[in-house]
Amino acid sequence: MSFYSNELTAILIVIFVGFLPNEVWRVFGVLFGRRIDENSLLMQWVRAVATALLAAVVARLVLVPSGALVALPLWLRLGAVAAGIAGFLTMRRSVLAGVLTAEAVLVIGAWWLGVG
């Protein structure tokens, strides 16, 4: 009986601590997002900051990797980024295509090098 109560407690914690606070901000975004001009100076700044943060995360993953990426050489990580950009541009600016292309280069490169 205690197993089910512990499992239910964990599920309720995930719902109340993880899901609901996030959902509140999504609702606010839908309600107030309609009034925002996409071409305003504020939105251009937000877009620039978001792009800079994404570039910083990618640079950190490539230049100062952690986890399984540590075992892969820098040239392979840089090649995966280049291949991801090429996949993104080739498939009409598809983020999914870029991510899948870069991931395929990493997986195939790790297999070829015998890493993993």
CB 101 within 8 A of CB 84: yes
- For the chain, the domains span 1-35, 39-65, 67-115
pLDDT for position 3: 56
pLDDT for position 19: 84
pLDDT for position 15: 85
pLDDT for position 53: 96
Where residue 38 falls among pLDDT bands split at 50, 70, 90?
Answer: confident
- The two three-digit tokens of residue 23, written as one number: 């959902």
pLDDT for position 21: 84
State what percent of residues in the chain have pLDDT above 90. Answer: 65
> Locate tokens 């995966």: which residue?
80
Average predicted confidence (pLDDT) for the chain: 91
Mean pLDDT to the nearest integer, 44-67: 95
pLDDT for position 82: 98
CA 30/CA 100 separation, integer angstroms? 30
Residue 70 DSSP symbol: G
- The two three-digit tokens of residue 29, written as one number: 């975004």
Where residue 62 falls among pLDDT bands split at 50, 70, 90?
Answer: very high
pLDDT for position 56: 96
CA 88/CA 85 separation, integer angstroms? 5
The dihedral built from the CA positions of residue 10, 14, 99 and 69, taken in this order, carries a sign that is: negative
Mean pLDDT to the nearest integer, 4-33: 84
